[in-house]
Amino acid sequence: MKKDWTPLALVPVIALVALPLVGSAPTWVTLTVAGLAMGMMIFMMASGLTLVFGLMDVLNFAHGVFISVGAYGAATVLTRMSRQMEAEGLASDLSAMIPAVLAAIALAAFLGWFFERVLIRPVYGDHLKQILITMGGLIVFEQLIHVVWGPDIIPLPRPGTITGSFIVGEAAIERYRVAAVVVGLAVFAAMWLVLNRTRIGLLVRAGVENPEMVESLGYRIRRLFVGVFVAGSGLAGLGGAMWAMYQEQVNAQMGAQVLVMIFIVVIIGGLGSVGGCFLGALLVGLLANYTGYLAPKLALGSNILLMVLVLLWRPRGLYPIGKA
Amino acid sequence: MPEPMLAIAGVNTHIGQYHILQGVDFEVPRGGLTMLLGRNGAGKTTCLRTIMGLWRASAGSIRVDGHDITRAATPDVAQLGVAYVPENMGIFAGLTVEENLRLAARAGEPDASRLEWIWRLFPAMKTFWHGLAGNLSGGQKQMLAIARAIVEPRRLLLVDEPTKGLAPAIIANMVEAFRELKRTDTTMLVVEQNFHFARSLGDTVAVMDSGRIVHTGRMDALAADAALQTRLLGLSLDAHQ
């Protein structure tokens, strides 16, 4: 099987180009780890959206609210488990973090199910209505977050195990960023295994290419749609929880604030491509950190420039899906 | 007289504002190969898509092996044992040949003896078993599309223009494959523009024009009647030589 390895080279190329520009090796290491961590968190938030885009052809601008709701779900659990958080040790931290992450996933997944059933199902096949109704849904649910959790920013305590830094040589590496990289890699590995080693994954990959043919083979693609939408929303919730712990605060607009970056990642990767999304997220994370250090005013612009360059090179993204 | 495998009566199909099928009536006898012929735009593809439930009939009835499928969803039609090979072949380019076939085997893994039979019919499928379907040639993609449709025994096989754009050598290979398929108990309805292909394989024929069936009968009778060919298809067999 012929594999296309060329886009994978972009990650080391960007990192190596940044090294002489940054100048200091320890700073470069810190920025690289920060970029990879940011990329992993963006991947978690974006991976569901790319599948929803690819499989269902749905432009879901409400994806941001799944991120916010996931963050609030995690914050709610973590603030109620402050006693476990105060106790030292990995076990007590995990006893607070695992329920928090599960709450984030469950809440966002439930909201995703509600959105698919109530808002998106009536507008399948109509992109303009999808944009309008999901933007409307985003605004309404951001306000509902204010109703439920209040309008103020909620500070989010980070468990002690993943707080602080450790020093490697002269480089300071934040523990939380390493944890984010580990969780991101685990999510990517799990998604890869499901997509490539299970029948459901085979159906999803086929459905992204040609849903009509999947139906012609006797499978009910609608059920698959709902499952993917719910799973994608749950992943956004997980990403939201991770992002909130990274920022150590939660607010209703946090999902909408990263939505532009998520769309850039989805487009760079190729609509519907999980592998492309992973690579795109790493590129965006690294570039945002390097340019944030070298030329802060260009941080967001650099990602748009990256998208433009990628699309000039590969108009359908780094790993396009052969859609029928 | 045995019940036909497929019975279509008074079927109308609208696509948007267009009235494509305008009262289609014909039957596909059990166990044989029926050719559906007609000029471009006659409604042949719409007819197959309506049978599969991909477009909904606005009137009339469609029965497969006695089951009314007029309002059935596409997966339900497929689960009745109807397989469909669309004009664009509908292969999953990003999946391997193996994955394409594995997906089509709804019972789970493809049956080993059935797989051997398919590999004998289309040796390229074995050669490129682990290769991406998108990397196959046009002829190999068509073979994969047909192999996928027959990876499990089916009651009715609907094939839309299997020879479209294929080289003569590949068409000859395809003729042999369809002959082998005819030896099974699968009933086939094949849309075709290549009259030689149709003549060499068809048992019965239905000819469409402007959304209606204008002729049904034995294929050999149509092949022997140049005047009828000219009237129905605009060209006689001799003109195809």
- Where exactly are the structural domains of chain A? 6-313
Q: What is the pLDDT of residue B237?
A: 53
Task: From chain B, pick out residues whose CB is under 8 angstroms from the CB of A208.
Answer: 94
Chain A: closest CA distance from residue B105 (Å): 9
* Yes or no, beta carbons of A215 and B86 under 8 Å apart: no
Q: Please check whether residue B139 lies inside any domain of the structure.
A: yes
As a whole number, the mean pLDDT across chain A is 91
Same domain (yes/no): B172, B128:
no
When CB atoms are compared, the residue of A203, A209, A215 closest to B74 is A215
The H or E element spanning position B97 is helix B97-104
* Yes or no, beta carbons of B104 and A217 under 8 Å apart: yes
Compute φ and ψ for B78, nearest 5 degrees. Answer: -60, -40
Task: From chain B, pick out residues whose CB is under 8 angstroms from the CB of A4.
Answer: none
Task: From chain A, pick out residues whose CB is under 8 angstroms from the CB of B54.
Answer: 212, 215-216
* Yes or no, beta carbons of B90 and A322 under 8 Å apart: no
- ipTM reported for the complex, 2 dp: 0.92
Do the Cβ atoms of B89 and B134 come closer than 8 Å? Answer: no
Task: From chain B, pick out residues whose CB is under 8 angstroms from the CB of A219.
Answer: 75, 106
Same domain (yes/no): B118, B223:
no
* Yes or no, beta carbons of B94 and A209 under 8 Å apart: yes
Q: What is the pLDDT of residue A90?
A: 81
Same domain (yes/no): B137, B183:
no
Same domain (yes/no): B158, B228:
yes
How far apart CA B93 and CA B97 sit, in angstroms, is 9
Structure-block tokens of residue B61 = 């009835």
Chain A: closest CA distance from residue B81 (Å): 9
Q: Please check whether residue B234 lies inside any domain of the structure.
A: yes
Architecture of domain A6-313: Orthogonal Bundle (1.10)
Task: From chain A, pick out residues whose CB is under 8 angstroms from the CB of B130.
Answer: 1
* Yes or no, beta carbons of B103 and A202 under 8 Å apart: yes
Chain B contact residues (CB < 8 Å to A): 52, 54, 73-75, 78-79, 84, 86, 88, 90, 92-96, 99, 102-104, 106, 130-132, 134-135, 148
Based on the structure, what is the number of domains in chain B?
Answer: 2
Same domain (yes/no): B29, B137:
no
Q: What is the pLDDT of residue B238?
A: 54
Same domain (yes/no): B15, B128:
no
* Yes or no, beta carbons of B95 and A220 under 8 Å apart: no
Dihedral Cα A94, A98, A101, A106, nearest 10 deg: -170
How far apart CA A226 and CA A217 sit, in angstroms, is 19
**Residue B78 one-letter amino acid:** A
Chain B: closest CA distance from residue A47 (Å): 18
Q: What is the pLDDT of residue B241?
A: 45
Q: For position B226, which CATH number holds?
A: 3.40.50.300
Do the Cβ atoms of B124 and B157 come closer than 8 Å? Answer: no
Same domain (yes/no): B148, B222:
no
* Yes or no, beta carbons of B103 and A209 under 8 Å apart: no
Same domain (yes/no): B72, B126:
no
Q: Please check whether residue B59 lies inside any domain of the structure.
A: yes
Q: Please check whether residue B88 lies inside any domain of the structure.
A: no
**A213, A219, A271: best mutation site toward chain B, by most B Cβ within 10 Å?**
A213
Same domain (yes/no): B179, B207:
yes
Per-residue DSSP letters for A21-42? HH--HHHHHHHHHHHHHHHHHH
How many beta-carbon pairs below 8 A join chains A and B?
66
Helices H / strands E in chain B, number of each? 11, 10
Chain A: closest CA distance from residue B13 (Å): 18
How far apart CA A28 and CA A14 sit, in angstroms, is 12
Q: Please check whether residue B231 lies inside any domain of the structure.
A: yes
**Residue-range definition of the domain harbouring residue B74:** 6-81+154-240
* Integer CA distances (angstroms), B132 to A8, B29, B42, B98, B145, in order: 20, 37, 35, 9, 14
Q: Please check whether residue B178 lies inside any domain of the structure.
A: yes
Same domain (yes/no): B158, B76:
yes
Same domain (yes/no): B145, B158:
no
pLDDT digits (tens, 9 = 90+) for A250-282: 999 999 999 999 999 999 999 889 999 999 999
Q: What is the pLDDT of residue B15?
A: 93
* Yes or no, beta carbons of B93 and A212 under 8 Å apart: no
Task: From chain A, pick out residues whose CB is under 8 angstroms from the CB of B48.
Answer: none
pLDDT-flagged residues of chain A (< 70): 1-2, 322-324
* Yes or no, beta carbons of A205 and B92 under 8 Å apart: yes
Same domain (yes/no): B58, B161:
yes
pLDDT-flagged residues of chain B (< 50): 241
When CB atoms are compared, the residue of A205, A216, A324 closest to B95 is A205
* Yes or no, beta carbons of A216 and B131 under 8 Å apart: no
Q: Which of B126, B153, B180 is the last residue of a domain?
A: B153
